[in-house]
Amino acid sequence: MDRRAKEQIVAELHEKLKDFKLAVLTHYAGLDVDRMTTLRNALRQSGTEFIVAKNTLLRIASKDTDLAAIESQFKGPTAIAINRGDIVAPTKVLIEFAKKNEQLDIRSGMLDGKPVTKAQLGMLADLPSREVLLGQLLSVMVAAQTSLVTVLSAVPRGLVQVLDAYRVKKESEN
- Helix 33-45 and helix 88-100: axis angle, to 10°? 160
Q: Are 5 and 54 in contact (CB under 8 A)?
A: no
Q: What is the pLDDT along the chain (174 residues), one digit of tens a residue?
A: 788 888 888 888 888 888 888 999 999 888 889 999 999 999 999 889 998 988 888 889 888 888 888 888 888 888 999 998 888 889 999 999 999 988 888 988 888 888 898 899 888 888 887 788 889 999 988 888 888 888 888 888 888 999 999 999 999 887
Q: Edge-to-edge strands of the sheet including 22-27?
A: 48-52, 78-83, 22-27, 105-111, 114-117
| pLDDT tens-digit series, residues 14-39 | 888 888 889 999 998 888 899 999 99
pTM: 0.71
Structure confidence at residue 49 (pLDDT): 92
